[in-house]
Amino acid sequence: MSDLLEAVDELLAAHPADQDDRALREARFDAGLAFVHFDPGAGGRGLDASLQAEVERRFLAAGHMDWSDRNIIGLGMAAPVIHEHGSPEQRARFLRPLFTGEEVWCQLFSEPGSGSDLAGLSSRAELDGDEWVVSGQKVWTTLGHVARRGLLVARTDPDVPKHRGLTYFLLDMRSPGVDVRPLRQMTGDAEFNEVYLTDVRIPDHDRIGGVGDGWRVAMSTLMNERVSLGGGAGERGSGPIGEAVELFRAARAQGRAGAAARPGGGPTAPVRRRAAPGGTRCGRSAGRGRAPTTATRTGPAGRTGSPTGGRPGAAARGAPARRARRAGRAVDAAAGS
């Protein structure tokens, strides 16, 4: 442990935070401080993986950038799977530019027709000499629009049980026939992509693992994904919830949220419940705290249970609304703390 920390301190002294970050990351890899549990010469020192956290903490404390989100697929999934399943040539070729940020990676697993059923994918790869010709479509591809490399699983044998007919490739995203298209969300942003592969040629030396061994390599990749995502727990008050609380505080300070945003600056007027046919109010029964069961009528095609002939009324909508109000009160309380 002491030798490891001394190596970190020496590297920090030679590469202050105000200098080129790429040069630092190159030096980190060469010094075995990229992935300390990897083999020497592959960015590591053959140490226990638990020591990596202290290495990262020291670099961040010295003011260096956290690159994990910029190449999350590469650092969290591609690097471990190449180190575990790749050939010595593949390790030497891919790991260093992956860590330095020169090459960003994406994951090409999900398909429109198979969803989360990875073994049911339909993208095909056929061997033609010393190259594989791949055609198919992938979807929900994070960083696909900026990635140089991709982790690709394709079907190489359709005549065996589906888990056994898969093969794993390391795809050059600049290859002819690779078409990356953004997926627009309701917000107008495109955080994901769909990738069309049309007769894309992949050299056999970019296959990782044996032919038909793609399922095993893919499971290793997904286990590494769980570790990388689960190991990034933030401090209390950080993350999306912390950001939501900060947004609420800012909006309230500007009079755009809370009581200050209401007409007159006071609480809202009580909501009047709409009366159902027959005079019974929809919502909670007076004094009992439960929705009425007698103020309903039978609607078309035998639909029952609401005064609107099968369309959920206020009683049916009450529980979600109450949960939403409780959540709002919780955020309000957190913002005021």
Q: Who wins on pLDDT, 188 or 320?
A: 188
- Residue with the larger pLDDT of the pair 242 and 325: 242
Q: SS3 of 146, please?
A: coil
- For the domain bounded by 105-228, which CATH number is listed? 2.40.110.10
Summarised one tens digit per residue, pLDDT across range 202-239 is 999 999 999 999 999 999 999 987 776 555 555 666 66
Please name which of 295, 228, 177 lies closest in space to residue 73, comparing C-alpha atoms: 228
For residue 121, pLDDT beyond 60: yes
Residue 3 pLDDT > 60: yes
Closest CA to 122 of 133, 112, 107, 132: 112
Lowest-confidence region among 93-102, 146-155, 287-296, 304-313: 304-313
248 pLDDT tier (thresholds 50, 70, 90): confident
Q: Which of 10, 26, 225, 235 is catalytic?
A: 235
Residue type, 232: G
pLDDT band at residue 247, thresholds of 50, 70 and 90?
confident
Residue type, 181: R
How does residue 317 score in pLDDT terms, banded at 50, 70 and 90? Answer: very low
- Cβ proximity of 267 and 259 under 8 Å: yes
Most confident option among 5-19, 148-162, 212-226, 316-330: 148-162
| Residue with the larger pLDDT of the pair 44 and 244 | 44
Instruction: Say if CB 43 and CB 32 are below 8 A apart.
Output: yes
Q: How many of the other CB atoms lie within 10 Å of CB of 161?
A: 9
Say if residues 130 and 118 touch (Cβ distance below 8 Å). no
Predicted TM-score (pTM) of this structure? 0.68
Return the closest-CA partner of residue 56 out of 80, 20, 28, 30. 28
Encode pLDDT of 153-200 as tens digits: 999 999 999 999 999 999 999 999 999 999 988 888 888 999 999 999
- In the prediction, which pLDDT does 265 show? 53
| Residue in 147, 144, 142, 158 with CA at minimum distance from that of residue 196 | 144
pLDDT exceeds 60 at position 109? yes
Give Cβ neighbours of residue 172 (< 8 Å, ≥ 6 apart): 148, 149, 202, 206
Give catalytic status of residue 235 as yes or no: yes
Q: Structural domain boundaries of the chain?
A: 2-66, 105-228
User: 104 and 70 in contact (C-beta within 8 Å)?
Assistant: yes
Sole residue written with tokens 């009366």: 275
pLDDT of residue 81: 97
Average pLDDT, the chain: 81
Ordered alpha helix ranges (H), the chain: 2-14, 21-30, 52-61, 72-73, 79-85, 88-100, 214-230, 239-253, 314-336
Under 8 Å between Cβ of 111 and 197: no
The full DSSP string for 88-125 is HHHHHHHHHHHHHTSS-EEEE--BTTTBT-GGG---EE
Backbone torsions φ then ψ of 131, nearest 5 degrees: -130, 155
- What are the phi and psi torsion angles at 206 (to 5°)? -100, 10
State the pLDDT at residue 2. 83
Tens digits of per-residue pLDDT, 54-103?
999 999 999 998 888 889 999 999 999 999 999 999 999 999 999 999 99
